[in-house]
Structure 1
Amino acid sequence: MPEPADGRLRKGERRRRALLEATLRLVGRHGAGAVTQRGVAAEARVPPSAVLYYFASVDELLLAALTTVHDRYVDRLAGVGTLAELVEVLREWSRQDLLLTVAEYELLLLAVRRPELTPQLRRWDDALEAAAVRLLPDAPERRPLLVAGVNGLCLAAVLGSPGDPSVLLRI
């Protein structure tokens, strides 16, 4: 998102992003239960009142954090044009700090039980299914394998046993 022109708005947007990043770090390290007004404020190094200034509730903050992490993954997935590129994206994700991926999985599990988060449940799968259509235009029967393979590789990375994404080239 482009920075607002007004200095106060820029500062506010930076603080909002800092709160979201702090939330994702907390969720990645300790789970969604660690997301409290004080916990997020301490992680972001801002006063506790800042959390509720930018987010009406901790639930709203969790929704914004899940949306933020999904935006990153979905945007990156949208730019993939070949299976080889998808393999490289998955390798890149497995090399990055896994806290982000762990946070995403934690928030997705939370979304199963929280109606305000459930629209995010389909977002990744919808994006992945769209990528499968784009990457395997002449093989609709193989698309579910690609979706399951990518999801399995991402989960394996979170669990500490990342597989080799090049197996997707054989789908």
Structure 2
Amino acid sequence: MPEPGDGRLRKGERRRRALLEATMRLVGRRGTAAVTQRAVAAEAGVPPSAVLYYFATVDDLLVAALTDVNDDYVARLAAIATVEDLVGLIEDCARQDRLRTVAEYELLLHAARRDELRAELHRWDTALAGAAQRLVPGDPEVRSLLVAAANGLFLAAALGSPCDTAALARLVCRTG
């Protein structure tokens, strides 16, 4: 088994990352139905056998992509302490490549249709609710409003809709 400092492990991690990024590009452009082992391999510039080596099925690949996206957002949501932090996260999402944001939402919608992926949706909801709890500790209705507004702002970013994120977040928090 390769040791953590072993070049084989680093190469494997790079290749796995390249496959996940290729998956996100495909999902962003054409949706989850476009994700096949061959299509991901072509997008990543690797042989199709490489996809099968890291992910036994296309579903495994989609689960890994969703989990990877969620890992990033859950960590970022855990660090939110102020309304400005939340605004910054939403604005970062709006500034990133729009197809990446579309891919993230496409994966969430894919998970909503699959019972075995519901845990990832719950993990997102729990992280966002935790951030709302820290920002608006005393009022569950305002927290619910903040969660709904944040989800709406993330969707607006995916759609490329202009929105004054900071003003809306402050308005929601002021409601409490």
TM bin (shorter chain): over 0.9
Distance apart, 1:96 and its partner CA: 1.1
What TM-score, normalized to structure 2?
0.91
Using the alignment, how far apart are the partners of 2:53 and 2:88 within structure 1? 40
Q: Residue in 2 aligned with 1:110? A: 110
Query: Within 2, Cα distance between the matches of 1:92 and 1:114?
Result: 28
- 1:85 & 1:118 partners in 2: Cα distance? 27
C-alpha distance in 1 between matches for 2:32 and 2:110: 8
The answer (yes or no) to whether the contact 2:98–2:160 under 8 Å persists in 1 is no
Q: What residue number does 2:95 align with?
A: 95
Aligned to 2:81: 81
- Counterpart residue number, 1:19: 19
1:98 Cα deviation (Å)? 2.0
What CA distance in whole angstroms lies between the structure 2 residues aligned with 1:105 and 1:147?
Answer: 16
- What is the TM-score of this pair, normalised by structure 1? 0.94
Residue matched to 2:150: 150
- 2:137 equivalent in structure 1: 137
In 2, distance between residues paired with 1:93 and 1:108?
15
Between 158-167 and 53-62, the greater mean CA deviation after superposition: 158-167
Corresponding residue SS for 1:46: coil
Contact kept, 8 Å, 1:63 with 1:116, in 2: the verdict is no
Bigger mean CA deviation after superposition, 159-168 or 124-133: 159-168
Residue identity over aligned pairs, in percent, reads 66
Count of aligned pairs: 169
Task: Provide, for residues 46-68 of structure 1, a one-character-per-residue CA deviation record: whole Å limited to 9, x for no partner.
Answer: 00000000111111000000000
RMSD of aligned residue pairs (Cα, Å): 1.4
CA shift, 1:115, in A, is 2.3
Tell me: CA distance 1:4–1:125, structure 2 relative to 1, closer, same or farther (3 Å): same
In structure 2, the gaps of 5 or more residues are: none
Q: Which residue of 2 aligns with 1:169?
A: 170
Q: Which runs of 4+ in 1 moved over 6 A?
A: none
